[in-house]
Structure 1
Amino acid sequence: MFHYTRDVHLTVDEAAERIEEELQKEKFGVLWSFNVKEMLNEKGLDFDQHYKILEVCNPVEAKKVLSENPLAGYFLPCKMAVYEDKGQVKIGMPKPTILISQVDSADQTLKTTAEDVERKMQAAIDRV
């Protein structure tokens, strides 16, 4: 499976706030939070689903992967989604290990870094 997703018993806004707090404990910052529903509604499109996309980054890990292979930048910053689906709020992300496996020249250093990043992001999700 390309993603890691968990159900949470919070609103989308509460879950987005909580994941931001938990990511900080793992040395990740939220660079950008995109409220899909608001943006689409502002553009005159009817979209009722509560959906936020967060771009998150751990600068130390980003430097490490970009120093190894600039193609890794195609996956940066990391994405997380917080959304409501059929009444259930979910937090999820694409797995860094799956993304990095798409880089033909991904060596063990990149794979190890992706595993570490994935473990930290999953831990943050699990604590929400």
Structure 2
Amino acid sequence: MYYIVETEKSFTQASTDLDSAVKRLGFGVLHVHDLGATLRAKDIAFDEECKVFEVCNPAQAAKVLATDMRLNMALPCRISVFTEKGTTKIGLIKPVQMLSALSQDAALVEVAKEVEEKTIQMVDEAK
């Protein structure tokens, strides 16, 4: 269900490269949640880094919503850059498996396949 790769890049460089790959592949970055900074700002001890990129392709999102409006709760796609014990990783939850758990509609599975191919390509390019 997960697609996670390790990279030799720093957390900051991997984050920058992911942002560029998202845009280059026709998606937009709606928001970036810096979970590490948020937790530390709340005085919670958290030594790792973690940014969650909310990414979206409006045409694909519109197809999903036109088929089943309830799936708005599964959008946008999220790709994370994070550290774990000194290693930088980039990962996502695969859209096909996630949407298949929520709907059996064949058209949605096709959209999810297209999105999954692109989001995995983003991760691989940022690696």
TM-score (norm: length of structure 2): 0.94
Identity %: 31
Q: Which residue of the partner structure matches residue 96 of structure 1? A: 95
> What letter matches 1:121 in structure 2?
T
CA distance in 2, matches of 1:71, 1:5: 27
Q: Which residue of the partner structure matches residue 117 of structure 1? A: 115
Structure 2 unmatched runs, 5+? none
When the two chains are superposed, the root-mean-square deviation of aligned CA atoms in Å is: 1.0
- How much has 1:87 moved relative to structure 2? 1.4
SS of 1:32's equivalent in the other structure is strand
CA distance in 2, matches of 1:13, 1:28: 20
CA distance in 1, matches of 2:83, 2:108: 33
Q: Which residue of the partner structure matches residue 62 of structure 1? A: 61
TM-score (norm: length of structure 1): 0.94
- How much has 1:37 moved relative to structure 2? 1.4
CA distance in 1, matches of 2:48, 2:70: 33
Q: Which residue of the partner structure matches residue 79 of structure 1? A: 78
Structure 1 unmatched runs, 5+? none
CA distance in 2, matches of 1:31, 1:13: 19
CA distance in 2, matches of 1:25, 1:54: 15
SS of 1:13's equivalent in the other structure is helix
* Contact 1:36 1:50 survives alignment (8 Å): yes
- How much has 1:71 moved relative to structure 2? 2.1
Between the two proteins, the alignment pairs up a number of residues equal to 126
- How much has 1:55 moved relative to structure 2? 0.8
Q: Deviations over 1:18-61 (max 9, x none)?
A: 01111112211111111111111111111111111111111111
* Contact 1:71 1:103 survives alignment (8 Å): no
Moved over 4 A (4+): none
CA distance in 2, matches of 1:41, 1:58: 31
1:34 matched to 2:68? The reply is no
> What letter matches 2:106 in structure 1?
Q
